[in-house]
Amino acid sequence: MLRLIFYPFNVLIGALEGVGRYVELMFSMFRSFFSWHRYFSLMIDQMYHIGVLSIPIVVLTSLFSGMVTSVQAAYQFESGFVPNWFVGSIVGESVLMELAPMMTALVM
């Protein structure tokens, strides 16, 4: 019976705790705008490690996705209506424009 009586209060307290955590997060976020210079060298270091050092993985992934795309395009164009020399340009455009950015985002 007491659980039934205190249920609305528990729900209200839970909601207020959530709002309080949100306000605390916003306050710490706005406060960190003024202390960005403290973490600048750490940010540059992380950008280097995440961006530059992951280039071999991205290149390897793009290489294999390009190979798979070229095999699929050659198989689709086997009918004879489209010349085989179109495969390279189609694969190059499709991998560069669509597949490589998506694979880079997935790998990183």
Note the pLDDT tens digit of each residue in 5-22. Answer: 888 899 999 999 999 999
pLDDT of residue 88: 79
Q: Which of 65, 67, 72, 68 is closest to 102 using CA atoms?
A: 65
pLDDT of residue 27: 94
Residue 25 predicted with pLDDT over 90: yes
User: How many residues make up the chain in this entry?
Assistant: 108
Task: Write out the two tokens for 55.
Answer: 């280039």
**What single-letter amino acid sits at 10?**
N
